[in-house]
Structure formats: structure tokens, C-alpha cells
Amino acid sequence: MDRLSLIFSALADPTRRAILARLSTGAASVNEIAAPFTMSLPAISKHLKVLERAQLIARGKEAQWRPCELKAEPLREADAWIEQYRQMWEARFDRLDAYLIELQAKSAEGKAASTRTTKTKKKP
Amino acid sequence: MNTSDREIIITRTVKAPRARVWQACTEPAHIDQWWGPNGFTNKTLGMDLRVGGTWKYTMTAADGTVFPNLITYKEVTPIDPLVYDHGDWENPKHFEASMTFTDVEGGTLITLHSIFPTKEARDFVVKEVGAIEGGKQTLARLEDHLRTLINH
């Protein structure tokens, strides 16, 4: 899998996003990370491995206390891609909006014309 | 399949009633006018608006480069969400997306859901966006050229 796919699939899980949110407040040990969850320590470790493989977190070197730390760079990569996609759609919606206004104006003109011929035009 | 974890959501409120927005999104004569990108000509070759039906179209850049696109409809019920796979002629499913239309005060809220993209989908979009950037450059060059002509 390419790097960005690893990042996207790592982010596609609520537990892993909760772990990242926890780490955004500072480094933490596996036990600390696992505390708010009902799942087992091995299950949490599995999630941490996925995050580590996507380089979203880094583990400390000390054998006993291996704190996990958030790494922002991959998040920026994912964000840059989403931003590019978003801009493409914003431009598309701009054109749709302008086109709908144009349509609305045309149909208003049409209505005004038919109103004139039937002499039911209201005074403004 | 619940994909809410993997969605990119983009919303926009347009100043038109829901029926008209639906029409603008599902009729070739309308959609060709805005699907774009800016500076491109969008041309529908065929649109079969039903589940399993396809919208086959090309986007032609100012320099003549043609980008073939294919949308395959998965849910079509006026005026509910329009769900489709988006791809090109060789690979019809690069990514799945849906457009939802909601009445709001003063217009219609459009919600575009796209699922977190695979590598293929990203490359596909990068190609399109690359084309958009290329198109802008072409237009800028044309503008420069016109300016030169006027000044001399």
C-alpha cells in the first residue's frame, strides 16, 4: 500500500482517531492510552501498530516506558489531498450556483413576458 | 456498509428550489453547462438516469486534451440522494460518491459525500486537478497573447 493509503486507512477507525486525539494533548504510555477504552491491551496495541505503520505516531526507545507520540506530518499530507479535492468541488459548486441563478432569471423573464400578455401584471 | 468513517463531506447552499437543482444535476443540457472545470468544455455522450445506468461524458481542456469520464448510478430517486461510482472509461470505479439535496431557507443544501480515496482515485483526481491547473495556465497564456496583440 502506498503511504497516503496507509494514512487514510489508519484514520478510518474511530478508536484510532480517539487515540490520536488523546496523543494530541501529549505523549502517553500504552497503559495510559488504553485506560479510557473497554478493549484489551493487545487490541489497543494492534491499533497502535496500524498508526505506527502509517507514521502517525512514533514510539519511544526506552524499554519499560515506551511513550507514544503524535506525528503531524502524515496528517498534513492527507489534509493537503483533501484540500485539493475540496477546491475542485468548491469551483464546481460555484459554477452550479451561477448557472442556477441564470436559469432562475430566465424563467422569471419568461413569466414576466406571459404575465404582460394576459394583463394580470401586478403593480410593484 | 457503513462508510461514515471514511467520508469526505463537502456542502454548499445554492439559491434555487430542490427540483431545479436536481434537474441541473441530472439533465445533460443543464449539467454540461457547469460540471466544468473552468475553461473546459463538458460534453455528454450519453446519460441513462436509472440504477445501473451510466453518464458518459468528456471534459475537453482549452488545449484540446480530452478527459473521458464515466459515472455509474447506484441510487436514483428524485429528489433523494444521487449515489454513483465515478471513474473513467477504462476503470469505471475510482471512487464512490453521493449527492444529497435538502430544502433549506432560501434554497437547497447540497451535501457531497465521497469515500476516502484509494490510490487510483487520488491519481484520477490529481490528473483532473492537474488538467484544471493546466487549463488555467493555457487561459493565462491566451490572455497574455491577447494583451500583446492589443498593445502592438
Q: Where are the domains of chain A?
A: 3-71, 73-116
At residue B69, what are phi and psi to the nearest 5 degrees?
A: -130, 155
Tell the burial category of B63 from Cβ atoms under 10 Å away from its Cβ (0-12, 13-18, 19+): middle
- What domains can be seen in chain B, in order of their start residue? 4-151 (3.30.530.20)
**Strand partners for B8:** B114
Mean pLDDT of B41-51: 96
Q: How many CB atoms lie within 10 A of CB A33?
A: 22
Res. A50: pLDDT tops 70 = yes
* Average pLDDT score, chain B: 80
Looking at chain A, the whole-number percentage of residues with pLDDT higher than 70 is: 89
Res. A123: pLDDT tops 90 = no
Q: What is the ipTM of this complex?
A: 0.75
Q: Assign B128 a pLDDT band (cuts: 50, 70, 90).
A: low
Q: Which residues of A touch B (CB under 8 A)?
A: 1-2, 4-5, 8-9, 11-14, 81-82, 84-93, 95-101, 103-104
Tell which of A83, A85, A102 to mutate to test the B interface (max B CBs under 10 Å).
Answer: A85
Provide the sign of the torsion angle of the four alpha carbons A99, B96, B113, B118, taken in this order.
negative
Would you state the pLDDT for residue A121? 47
Distance CA B92, CA B71 (A): 7
* Nearest CB neighbour to A100, from listed B5, B24, B122: B24
Would you state the pLDDT for residue B100? 92
- Partners of B14 on chain A (C-beta within 8 Å) are 93, 96-97, 100
Evaluate whether A7 touches A82 at the Cβ level (below 8 Å).
no
DSSP tally for chain A: helices H, then strands E: 5, 2
Q: 66-125 in B: which are within 8 Å (CB) of A?
A: 110, 112, 114, 116-119, 122, 125
Tell me the pLDDT tens digit for each residue of A82-118. Answer: 888 888 889 899 999 999 999 888 888 877 776 665 5
Nearest of A55, A25, A27, A59 to residue A45 by alpha carbon: A59
* Full-model pTM: 0.72
Mean pLDDT of A58-78: 82
* Average pLDDT score, chain A: 84
Which one-letter DSSP state was computed for residue A58? E
Query: What number does CATH give the domain A3-71?
Result: 1.10.10.10
Q: Which of A25-34, B26-35, B86-95 has the lowest mean pLDDT?
A: B86-95
Enclosing H/E stretch for A99: helix A73-117
Q: Is the peptide bond before B110 cis (omega within 30 degrees of 0)?
A: no
Would you state the pLDDT for residue A54? 93
- Partners of B126 on chain A (C-beta within 8 Å) are 84
Which one-letter DSSP state was computed for residue A121? P
Indicate yes or no: CB of B15 within 8 angstroms of CB of A98: no
Mean pLDDT of B64-70: 90
Would you state the pLDDT for residue B1? 43
Would you state the pLDDT for residue B151? 54
Higher pLDDT, B91 or B106: B106
